[in-house]
Structure 1
Amino acid sequence: MAANEEVDLLVIGSGAGGLTAAFTAADAGASVLVVEKAAKFGGTSATSGGGIWIPNSDDARAKGHADDPGEAFGYIKALIGDDVPDAKLHAYIDNAHRMLSYLEQKSEVHYTAYAYADYHMDVAGARGGWRTHDPIPLMADRLGKDFERMEPPHTLTLTFGRFTWTMEEAKLLLTMSPGAKSLLFKLMTRYIFDIPWRFKTKRSRRLTGGNALIGRLKLSLDQKGVPLWLNAPMVELLRENGRITGAIVERDGQKVTVRARKGVVLASGGFDHNLALRQKYLPGPTGDWSAGVPTNTGDALAAGTAVGAGTDLLDSAWWGPGFMLEGEDRARIMFVERALPSSIIVNQAGKRYMNEAASYHVAGGEMHRANSPEGPTVPSWFVFDARYRGKYMLGPMMAGKPSADKRIPAAMRKILRKSDTIEGLAREMGVDPAAFSAAVARFNGFAVKGEDPDFHRGVSAYDRHYGDASVSPNPTLAPIEQGPFYAIPIYPCDLGTNGGLSTDANARVLDTEGRPIDGLYAIGNASAAAMGRTYPGAGATLGPAMTFGWLAARHATRVNQ
Structure 2
Amino acid sequence: MEEMNVDVLVVGSGAGGLTAAITAHEHGAKVMVVEKSDMFGGTSATSGGGIWIPCNHLMAEHGETDTPEAALNYLKACIGDDVAEERIARYVDQAPKMLKFMEDKSEVKFTATPYADYFPDRPGGKDGWRTLDPLPMSATKLKGEFLNMREPHEQTAFGGFTLTVNEAKKIITRAPGWSKIMSRLVFLYRIDIPFRRKTKRHRRLCLGNALVGRCLVSAFKRKIPVLRETPFKSLIEKDGRVVGAIITRDGKDVKVNTSRGVILAAGGFESNPDMRAKYLPHSSNPDWSATPGTNTGDAHKAAAEIGATMTLMDAAWWGPSVRLPKRDRSRVLFVERALPGIYIVNGNGERFLNEAASYDEVGRQVQEHPLSTWVVFDRKAREKYAVGPLYPTAVMPDVAWGKSVKAVMKKADTIEELAALMGVDAEGLKATAEKVGRYSETGIDEDFGSGNNSYDRYYGDPTVKPNPCLAPISKGPFYAFQIFPGDIGTKGGVDVDVNAQALNAAGVPIGGLYATGNTASSVMGRTYPGAGSTLGPAMTFGYVAAKHMMRANA
TM range (shorter): over 0.9
Hey, what's the Cα distance between the residues in 1 that align with 2:361 and 2:339?
A: 17
Hey, what's the Cα distance between the residues in 2 that align with 1:324 and 1:462?
A: 26
Hey, what's the Cα distance between the residues in 2 that align with 1:329 and 1:272?
A: 14
Hey, what's the Cα distance between the residues in 2 that align with 1:549 and 1:65?
A: 27
Q: In structure 2, what is the equivalent of residue 453 of structure 1?
A: 446
Query: Could you tell me how far 1:61 is from its partner in structure 2?
Result: 2.1
Q: In structure 2, what is the equivalent of residue 501 of structure 1?
A: 494
Amino acid at match of 1:155: E
Query: Could you tell me how far 1:63 is from its partner in structure 2?
Result: 2.5
Segments of structure 2 that go 5 or more residues without pairing to the other structure are: none
Q: In structure 1, what is the equivalent of residue 428 of structure 2?
A: 435
Q: In structure 1, what is the equivalent of residue 318 of structure 2?
A: 319
Which structure 2 residues correspond to residues 22-101 of structure 1 after superposition, within 5 A? 22-101=21-100
TM-score, with normalisation over the residues of structure 1? 0.97
Hey, what's the Cα distance between the residues in 1 that align with 2:95 and 2:18?
A: 16
Query: Could you tell me how far 1:410 is from its partner in structure 2?
Result: 2.4
Q: In structure 2, what is the equivalent of residue 248 of structure 1?
A: 246
Q: In structure 2, what is the equivalent of residue 526 of structure 1?
A: 519
Q: In structure 2, what is the equivalent of residue 361 of structure 1?
A: 360
Q: In structure 2, what is the equivalent of residue 195 of structure 1?
A: 193
Deviations along 1:184-228, one digit per CA (max 9) or x if unpaired, are 100100100112112111110000011111111111111111001
Which of the residues 204, 218, 221 maps onto 1:220? 218
Q: In structure 2, what is the equivalent of residue 404 of structure 1?
A: 397
Hey, what's the Cα distance between the residues in 2 that align with 1:312 and 1:304?
A: 12
Query: Could you tell me how far 1:377 is from its partner in structure 2?
Result: 4.3
Amino acid at match of 2:196: R
Amino acid at match of 1:4: E
Hey, what's the Cα distance between the residues in 2 that align with 1:309 and 1:451?
A: 50
Deviations along 1:361-407, one digit per CA (max 9) or x if unpaired, are 11111112xx2xxxx34341000100011001124422116993120
Which structure 2 residues correspond to residues 170-319 of structure 1 after superposition, within 5 A? 170-288=168-286, 289-319=288-318
Which of the residues 541, 544, 551 maps onto 1:551? 544
Q: In structure 1, what is the equivalent of residue 162 of structure 2?
A: 164
Deviations along 1:246-269, one digit per CA (max 9) or x if unpaired, are 110011100000111100000000
**What is the alpha-carbon root mean square deviation over aligned residues?**
1.2
- Mapped pair 1:514 → 2:513: no
- Mapped pair 1:341 → 2:335: no
Amino acid at match of 2:478: F
Deviations along 1:92-130, one digit per CA (max 9) or x if unpaired, are 000100100011001000000110000001201000000
Contact 1:341 1:388 in 2 (8 A): yes
- Secondary structure in structure 2 of the residue aligned to 1:486: strand
Segments of structure 1 that go 5 or more residues without pairing to the other structure are: none
Instruction: Compare 187-196 and 376-385 and name the one that shifted more.
Output: 376-385
Amino acid at match of 1:102: F
Aligned residues with identical type, % of pairs = 49
Which of the residues 386, 411, 423 maps onto 2:416? 423
- Secondary structure in structure 1 of the residue aligned to 2:282: coil
Contact 2:276 2:283 in 1 (8 A): no
- Secondary structure in structure 1 of the residue aligned to 2:397: helix
Aligned residues: 553
- Secondary structure in structure 2 of the residue aligned to 1:284: helix
Which of the residues 385, 398, 414 maps onto 2:378? 385
- Secondary structure in structure 2 of the residue aligned to 1:144: helix
Hey, what's the Cα distance between the residues in 2 that align with 1:517 and 1:555?
A: 13
Query: Could you tell me how far 1:452 is from its partner in structure 2?
Result: 0.3
Q: In structure 1, what is the equivalent of residue 141 of structure 2?
A: 142
Amino acid at match of 1:486: Y
